[in-house]
Structure 1
Amino acid sequence: MAMKTKTKKGGTGRNKRNETKLIEDPAKRQVAFSKRRPTLFGMAGDLSALCGVHVAVVVFSRSARGNAYAFGSPSVDAVLRRYHGNVQDDDDHGDDDDDAGALAGLRSELDDTKARVEAEKKRMKKVEANVERAMAARSTALWWQADVEALGAAELPEFETALRRLRDTLLRRVDALQLPLAAAPPAYMNM
């Protein structure tokens, strides 16, 4: 019995990597550095937020000035003090507790905001349904001709706002249409 041998396809897939080499042109190198530095710092910040770790990144430019760029979470100084052992354990744990408390507060605020957004979406769906019923009461397909008497107290402010927007849009459109007419010479001048 013949055995089948597996052959690997020659696809490139994710395993193909571009060769990383130094950019020779100093101007192009500086542009590449300037574009990638914020991404590097952003990734370090994401790592700190996702994993709850303290991060410091220091990068030196290869330009003639050799500028130093630094990012730290919570700060470069705090991370370096901890690295050098100048921070006592009690103080360090206090910072972690403060950070955890602040993060918990932000998460709670985010959850509250999401809940308010969902509640507003539900309220707007009810308003839309009531406006559609008011339109049906008048047998019209035009929302601005809806039966105002059929609308409730919750729908009237929304309806008024929509009417004001419609009016403003119409006034702008009328002004735009009248502007070319005002600039055109009278018809009797075209002889």
Structure 2
Amino acid sequence: MAPPSATNNGRTSNSRRSKIEMKEVEQRNRRCVTFSKRKLGLFNKLTELSLLCRAETALIIISQNGNVYSCGYPTTDAVLRRYITGASSEQCRGARRREQEEFLEKQRLEYESVQDELKEKQKQLKEMKEAQKNSSCFVSWWNLSTDNMGMEDLEQFKISLESLKLNLITVLQEKKLH
């Protein structure tokens, strides 16, 4: 029987964590598996270090197969750009802030456009409901005015009319058979 301090794969058998001996893994398959497992650990440590120390970090790893992996805080590109240009942290923050403001402005404009479109659709719906309420009979959707429809609505209207036509032909053929 082996003593309690005997090692298994570089670890002691007791519940404490111990260091694994650092040596090159001989078999290619095992080396690839080890790389995959430890790569994630490196990325986690780098991110943790960045957050704890408010450091801007970048890590680039090229595997034996030639695959490139990168991790960085805030982003690998931002850190490398700062390193290459020699820009200060304040300059990078200013550029990042401008990029964020431009992005937010673009999002705001898109939001307003969607809001305007929604208001227009609500207005059309209200008009349709009013017309239906004021009409003595049901207003058929195929009799709606196409003047206020956009291209997308017109395309959908055309598809609906074609579908209605096919349904009518099918019903007529069935009635002729019976």
TM-score, L = length of structure 2: 0.47
